[in-house]
Structure 1
Amino acid sequence: MALDYLRKIPWFRQAEIAPSAEIEAASLRSDRFRLEREVDWQRLERIVTALEKGRPGRISDDDLLDLPVLYRKATSSLAVARETSLDAAAIAYLEALVRRAWFQIYGPRETLTGWMRTFLGGGWSRAVRAIWLDICIALFFMVAGTVVGWLLVSREPDWFYSLVPGAMADGRVPGADPEVLRQSLDPTADANGLSVFATYLFSNNTGVAILAFALGFAFGIPTLLLLISNMALLGAMLFVFVEAGLGYEFVAWLSVHGTTELGAILLAGAAGIHVGRSMAFPGQRTVLAAAQGAGVNAAQVMAGATVMLVVAGLLEGFVRQLVGDPSARLAIGGVMLAFWCLYFAGMRRRGRQAE
């Protein structure tokens, strides 16, 4: 009753009719907008569909030449549709069409296999050579860390327990029986070997590599401290075996995977230092721009370091357990070291051709 009464009032009747009139007007605008541009949308969709299915031969020369123009028209239509609040279906359709067209025009043209071929065939080595100064800096601090660990334990054996976690030492401490230490180098699975130490070393070095790169944004200082701390651990353990007359055997055991694993840490640390050094000395650029420019190259180096860590894990888990002769172990480590050095130096020509 009340509603019937209100509908007799002119202003209420006009207010009730107005929304439906506005909806009808908006619908007409949306239909007119679609009809005026739908031919171009459908043409663009046919081209994009052919490209997505890998059938560019089905696209005429005119369509191929008009593809950028059609894409710009579609993006313009999308902007107008959003601005004028057209129907949601038209906006959703245009968003999907523009996204698909963008990928076909501007998206990556190279497959994962092609990217790996380019990366391993010169891109990675070129990125490594570009940060040679940072590699020298990282190498210096890694050597310094090893020397610090050695000197601390040689002068005060109690330093060993501060540098090396007890679970990792597992009896391999200063003054330990040389025969026990020698047995710990045995490759068989049932021996009291360095399996705990090896597992810890690999997981620790992987974490160190990631942190060394990630902490580079703090002007590289945490990266340098991390490299020193990590290598001091190795220096302390090295002193224990050298003191027992087993330095050669320990170095040979470590070299199987160590030349690759420590090389990965070296590259990761250098990548972090490269970013930090660019931020500390940005030159004419802003700090953010310097970090962004250095980060692109450093990321490539870090990706390669990840590959090296995987290779080191395979060497540590299989080769080191199958080969027990110290000379053979040292030869394997030397071959791996030579391989990486020759790889980074030998890909120079292919890297320049790729450029």
Structure 2
Amino acid sequence: MSARVASSPAVMVNATRFRAAHEAEWSRLDALVTRIEKRSIGALTDDDLLALPLLYRATLSSLSVARDTSLDRGLIAYLEQLSTRAYFQIYGVPTSARRQLATFFRSGWPEAVQSIWRETLVCVALTVAAAIVAYLLVRSDPSWFFGIIPEALSSGRDPTATAGFLRSTLYDRQHDMLAFFATYLFTHNSQIAIFAFALGFAFAVPTVLLIIYNGLMLGAMVAVFAGKGLGANFAAWLMIHGTTEMFAICLAGAAGMRIGTAIAFPGRDTRSDALVRVGRPAAIAMAGTVLMLAIAGLLEGIGRQTVLGDGNRILIGSVMLVGWLAYFYLPRRGSTWR
């Protein structure tokens, strides 16, 4: 008992001496880090820049001693927080939100899309093949349409509709519904894209099925309008927003397929390592599709309802497609396709 009592003053003296010997270093590091956080690294002088890593290492050493000798928790917590702040300022790359956003659009998003170009081609091929199959099925037997597209989704645009009604859905103005329609379409299409991406974790099988079903719906609708002599008109109606929308859904499906195939066939990596390796670019590509779907929603809900000429619709859709292809796939300095 006496030994314990006698040892307590010694520990307190050591802690006091320890704090007194190093507190000046901690305070200076704290002041330098605070200056960088409030302003920038340019606010430091040359002497400060040289002292910053030395002070950081000294603080880490003090933290190690404080933990080993069980000094008071308040001091340990302070040193841990100070060391963490200093680490991010020295080894991190602090950038503004504006710079991060610029980097995303300048290189991050296009490079992520380029990294999944094989999967994107597969999704496009599946969509086109499924659309052709559905078109042929519905043209040969219109009852196939009701097995592909639910009645609530077709909104009367089915094989029983008259040519006049179908034409009205392509050209009638609905100004009072524009904002609501655009919001609905953005939400609906975003859900399809998110499901196509998220379901990729199940070895990409549900993603493939969803992409195929999306193509079947497209082909079935084309067959209905083509059967009434409105195939070219429907194509123009679809192009103004469809080039952006279908491209976005294919990209989302491609990102999901990349993740699913990495899980199913990790190669020499473990499945978790393979997922980490492909997860970041796939997630970046998926994040960008949300913007594409927002643009598609605006084109469909507003542009398509106000631009009624088939030629102008085809022109807008073609320009959007060429623009996306150029943005994603034109060579950039330092970029490499994998």
CA distance in 2, matches of 1:47, 1:85: 27
1:216 corresponds, among 197, 200, 208, to 200
Change in Cα spacing, 1:44 to 1:239, as seen in structure 2 (3 Å) is same
Q: Which string of whole-angstrom CA distances, capped at 9 and with x for unpartnered residues, describes residues 202-236 of structure 1?
A: 43321121121222222222211110112212222
Does the CA contact (< 8 Å) of 1:252 and 1:326 recur in 2?
yes
1:130 corresponds, among 102, 106, 115, to 115
Structure 1 stretch displaced more, 88-97 or 253-262: 88-97
2:125 aligned partner, one-letter code: F
Does the CA contact (< 8 Å) of 2:185 and 2:301 recur in 1?
no
Look up the match of 2:275.
291
CA-CA distance at 1:192 after TM superposition: 10
Look up the match of 1:237.
221
Q: Which string of whole-angstrom CA distances, capped at 9 and with x for unpartnered residues, describes residues 298-324 of structure 1?
A: 122222222211221221232112111
TM-score (norm 1): 0.84
Look up the match of 1:80.
65
1:70 aligns with 2:55: yes
CA-CA distance at 1:22 after TM superposition: 6.4
Look up the match of 1:142.
127
CA distance in 2, matches of 1:312, 1:49: 45
Does the CA contact (< 8 Å) of 2:26 and 2:55 recur in 1?
yes
CA distance in 1, matches of 2:188, 2:259: 23
Larger radius of gyration: 1
Q: Which string of whole-angstrom CA distances, capped at 9 and with x for unpartnered residues, describes residues 71-101 of structure 1?
A: 2222332343344432232123212212221
SS at match of 1:349: coil
Does the CA contact (< 8 Å) of 1:184 and 1:192 recur in 2?
no
1:43 aligns with 2:28: yes
Tell me which of the two structures has the higher relative contact order, counting C-alpha pairs closer than 8 angstroms and 6 or more residues apart. 2
CA distance in 2, matches of 1:334, 1:269: 22
Look up the match of 2:239.
255
Look up the match of 1:102.
87
Does the CA contact (< 8 Å) of 2:183 and 2:297 recur in 1?
no
CA distance in 2, matches of 1:93, 1:44: 12
Change in Cα spacing, 1:22 to 1:283, as seen in structure 2 (3 Å) is same
Q: Which string of whole-angstrom CA distances, capped at 9 and with x for unpartnered residues, describes residues 92-126 of structure 1?
A: 32122122212211233332222232222233223
Tell me the percent identity. Answer: 47
1:349 aligns with 2:332: yes
Structure 1 stretch displaced more, 115-124 or 173-182: 115-124
CA-CA distance at 1:31 after TM superposition: 1.8
1:207 aligns with 2:182: no
Change in Cα spacing, 1:166 to 1:150, as seen in structure 2 (3 Å) is same
Look up the match of 1:4.
none
Does the CA contact (< 8 Å) of 1:187 and 1:320 recur in 2?
no
Does the CA contact (< 8 Å) of 2:175 and 2:305 recur in 1?
no
2:171 aligned partner, one-letter code: D
2:209 corresponds, among 221, 225, 228, to 225
- RMSD in angstroms over aligned alpha carbons? 2.8
Change in Cα spacing, 1:56 to 1:169, as seen in structure 2 (3 Å) is closer
Change in Cα spacing, 1:83 to 1:235, as seen in structure 2 (3 Å) is farther
2:126 aligned partner, one-letter code: F
In the alignment, structure 1 segments of 5+ residues that lack a partner are 1-13
**Count of residues paired in the alignment:** 335
Q: Which string of whole-angstrom CA distances, capped at 9 and with x for unpartnered residues, describes residues 222-278 of structure 1?
A: 211110112212222221111111111111111111110111111111111122223
